[in-house]
Structure 1
């Protein structure tokens, strides 16, 4: 428990974490509001084919906050401190304090999981409020089962970001790839036009946990299971690499 609390304290001490909170809390609401405005006339007329996606699309595209969270949790450990502070890295101190590297990564993953869940709950509240503000009585009913799926999607995405950053020891690559994939160009979506195997990529499978799309491939449970397997495999590989790696290299 002390290790978990220490990781929480470390995360809250990072300046960049507040950017993650800001983006995570409000980006989904902004996306949902814009989508609601674009769809409002069709929804009122009763001809919209995307009513079931309104609101949820903000939770699908607004995961950048937890991506930043997962990346920062690890990349901050490998930042070289200033010469006045000795020019070392936080990871050296962390591994001196923790009894094992596995214990260290589990505590860090636990802290990221808790914060991701709380951040997604806040995002759900702002998103639901924004959708109802724009659409009023025409806003779709938000189902608890789908909202739970969104929470799982955010949490798994944050843990994937954490695992990838452990492998790269650098936050630039995971941030560039994951944020681009979830906001600008979905590589999984493009690949799904070529092969059905793309539906088994983590983000594409995870979306099926809460989005009702015309090209949905998995049931919510299957989509969650596929994404969980990706997270588990990434974490196992990250633990193995981290255990063998000279952190100072």
Structure 2
């Protein structure tokens, strides 16, 4: 069995990972139906200047699933292995089996990427199809490039959560910050009201890959993808460096 296969099995064998899978697969499509009435009224009242964003905006709640998966990929390694050894962690066993840390992190990241990419693709297609089914001709057919941008955003958010959890070594703190910033009060969005430079923060700039309207600033989709990818690459590099220096 390859290391990638082992990490895929480990990830999909986690109960908390299945919470992320269910949230990612079901939340956005369900929201399409729950919000159908209010959305129709908003369209009729002219509140949507670009109705092509409708299905894509709904994906915001589903991306929480990618965050959960990114966090538990790492946080599971820091859980105690059992009551008979309260000081031991799964990480100790993992490093004993695979002492090459760079290779281990690469396999974990690859496993996470595969799972999140499939989840993002299936959920995006399903959500956009249901949006068209519910709202008909009010919503134009999505361009393939926007669909690809949404899936890439999904993957990069999962990797962002993965990197941050490696950096902070605390899944609860990382997930709380990410969920609050995404669904309650977006600090990144508030910062864009203070300075236009904040539009290049990873969670804000990434949305420009598939949404036509994101706040008061415009960023080209390709530029948005490059900037968010650079953020994630930098955080992954920092996380890998810290992991190699401090985790025993």
Query: TM-score band (shorter)?
Result: over 0.9
In the alignment, is the contact (CA less than 8 A) between 1:30 and 1:130 conserved in 2?
A: no
Matched, 1:183 2:183: yes
Partner of 1:78: 78
In the alignment, is the contact (CA less than 8 A) between 2:7 and 2:108 conserved in 1?
A: yes
Matched, 1:199 2:199: yes
Q: Secondary structure at the match of 1:69?
A: helix
Matched, 1:170 2:170: yes
Partner of 2:235: 234
Structure 1: give runs of 5+ residues left out of the alignment: none
Partner of 2:8: 8
State the 1:44 CA deviation: 5.6
Matched, 1:244 2:248: no
Q: How many residues align?
A: 247
Deviates more, 1:218-227 or 1:57-66: 57-66
Deviates more, 1:214-223 or 1:28-37: 28-37
Q: Secondary structure at the match of 1:55?
A: helix
Partner of 2:63: 63
State the 1:246 CA deviation: 3.4
Partner of 2:17: 17
TM-score between the two structures when normalised by the length of structure 1: 0.92
Q: Secondary structure at the match of 1:19?
A: helix
In the alignment, is the contact (CA less than 8 A) between 2:51 and 2:138 conserved in 1?
A: no
Partner of 2:117: 117
State the 1:169 CA deviation: 1.2
In the alignment, is the contact (CA less than 8 A) between 2:156 and 2:228 conserved in 1?
A: yes
State the 1:143 CA deviation: 1.3
CA separation of 1:18 and 1:168: change in aligned 2, threshold 3 A: same
State the 1:129 CA deviation: 3.2
State the 1:188 CA deviation: 1.0
CA separation of 1:132 and 1:76: change in aligned 2, threshold 3 A: same
CA RMSD of aligned residues (A): 1.9
Partner of 1:225: 226
The residue correspondences of 1:134-153 to structure 2 (distance < 5 A) are 134-153=134-153
CA separation of 1:47 and 1:240: change in aligned 2, threshold 3 A: closer
Partner of 1:40: 40
In the alignment, is the contact (CA less than 8 A) between 2:52 and 2:142 conserved in 1?
A: no
Deviates more, 1:129-138 or 1:18-27: 129-138
Tell me how far apart the structure 2 counterparts of residues 188 and 205 of structure 1 sit (CA, whole Å): 10
The residue correspondences of 1:124-139 to structure 2 (distance < 5 A) are 124-139=124-139
In the alignment, is the contact (CA less than 8 A) between 1:113 and 1:158 conserved in 2?
A: yes
State the 1:33 CA deviation: 3.7
CA separation of 1:33 and 1:192: change in aligned 2, threshold 3 A: farther
